[in-house]
Structure 1
Amino acid sequence: MQDQTADIEWRDGRVPVSTRFDDPYFSLENGMDETAHVFLAGNDLPARFVDGFHVAELGFGTGLNFCVALRAFRAAACGGRLMFTSFEAYPMAMDDIRAALGAFDGLPDDLARAAAFPTHLEGSDFDLRVVVGDAREALPAWEGQADAWFLDGFSPAKNPELWSPELMAQVAAHTATGGTAATYTAAGFVRRGLQDAGFEVARVQGYGRKRHMTRAVLR
């Protein structure tokens, strides 16, 4: 698939919304708190952080999840480097990324200072790689394994290709034993896809207006 850039509009002047998928990039209530609840707590982080811990993500978006994870990694003071690999079909312009991240206080500025979209960005304590393209093609070719997955595509009802059973099987194939996955959605077909791929799946309390979310562990 030919790479395409994100088409966005701004809601309330601060929340980017994908016009392609008619879905916001993060919670209208508080995107940073949502990331902490869904993706950090959902993967038992920061307690599991160690040197070389590898987070993988479907849907880089604004990079908010990476920034929140990096902040938590630094606060955990476990030393070493955080590895972070994300798959993104429609990369956002850097000016839009900076504008989106600028709505939150206390985030590390490593991403916002990048000169161009970060297909590879390194710091003293992190290694960020964003694979641009269709995850259905890119993930099977990826040689890495994740300790934790942030499954953060747009709504399954609007972006079903990023939640297919085939892609969930690839997520499992690229997860270390005992690794985890978390997502804001509790859609039945997503949970079944993860379960069929080998994860133990639990529906737990969601963030904000979402009653439930999904946590999964690969045994």
Structure 2
Amino acid sequence: MSEKSPYYLQTARLNWQQDNVPEAKDFGDIYFLLQQGLEESRYVFLQHNQLQQRWQQLEPFEHFSIGETGFGTGLNFLAAWQLWQKTADQTAQLHFISVEKHPLTYTDLERSLSAWPELADYAKQLLAQYPTLTAGHHLLKFDHGRISLHLLLGDGIESIEQLRSNDHPQWQTQNHPTIDAWFLDGFSPSKNPDLWNDRLYALMADLSGPTTTLATFTAVGSVRRG
């Protein structure tokens, strides 16, 4: 039997619940709640990182970086993109870095995002650039280059370690990139222990600065302590 390519990825295997709500078979967990999903994303990740206030205070041409564990359906990215356009200076740059071990196929992503009509224009642009699903780093640019989406497809911990060693000058701050806000998403710690562990928390600390904030949907004690 031939070995799998190092670029091979197992895409997400889904069950579809009522009203096009996707559930990950391998984790036994849904990606979002139909009625509250978008508002939950805004409340947990945008509001608790104080992004509206922080983005309104950005100087011209300033950069802001978000790190996310679990791209999923891209809902958090689209919600952040929408808020960024409403609040940030027109010359400011948003860098959204997201890891995903089991990305959705194009068809499944399109079906999932159809749940959010108010994000339809953003979803259309994301789908137009959605990459071939191979392991590695994929850079997508939106809004005339004002917004960068770095999709790191593959093992989450390994991908973040690669980010830490990135020597691109755009990400250099004292010899490593600095994340300004973390979105700790992904399936619950009990169902995804390979991601939620001390190794992740140590990497986050190394990639964070004195003003970095983080937000997460989970209240599990081990995550709070980590």
Q: Given the two structures, how large is their TM-score scaled by the length of structure 2?
A: 0.80
1:135 aligns with 2:141: no
Contact kept, 8 Å, 1:83 with 1:127, in 2: the verdict is yes
What do the CA deviations read for 1:162-214 (whole angstroms, capped 9, x no partner)? 11022111111111221011000010000011xxxxxxxxxxxxxxxxxxxxx
Return the structure number with greater helix share. 2
* Matching of residues 59-70 of structure 1 within 5 Å: 59-70=70-81
How many angstroms apart in 2 are the aligned matches of 1:115 and 1:62?
12
Structure (1 or 2) with the greater strand fraction: 1
The ranges of structure 1 where at least 4 consecutive aligned residues each deviate by more than 6 angstroms after the TM superposition are none
Shift of 1:61: 0.4
Question: Which ranges in structure 1 are unaligned for 5 or more consecutive residues?
Answer: 194-219
Counterpart of 1:181 in structure 2 is 214
Shift of residue 10 of structure 1? 1.0
**Residue number in structure 1 paired with 2:127:** 112
Structure 1 residues 186 and 13 mapped into 2: Cα distance closer, same or farther (>3 Å)?
same
Equivalent of residue 99 in structure 1, options 86, 90, 111: 111
Change over 3 Å in CA distance of 1:92–1:178 after alignment to 2: same
The answer for the alignment partner of 2:17 in structure 1 is 11
Q: CA RMSD for the aligned pairs?
A: 1.7
C-alpha separation in 1, matches of 2:147 and 2:213: 20
Partners of 2:130 and 2:75 lie apart in 1 by 17
CA distance in 1, matches of 2:103, 2:188: 17
Alignment of 1:165-180 (within 5 A): 165-180=198-213
Structure with the greater alpha carbon radius of gyration: 2
Q: TM-score, normalised by structure 1?
A: 0.83
Q: State the identity %.
A: 38
Asked if structure 2 preserves the Cα contact closer than 8 Å seen for 1:101 and 1:112, the reply is no
Q: How many residues align?
A: 193
How far apart are 1:153 and its partner, in Å? 1.2
Counterpart in the other structure of 2:140 = 121
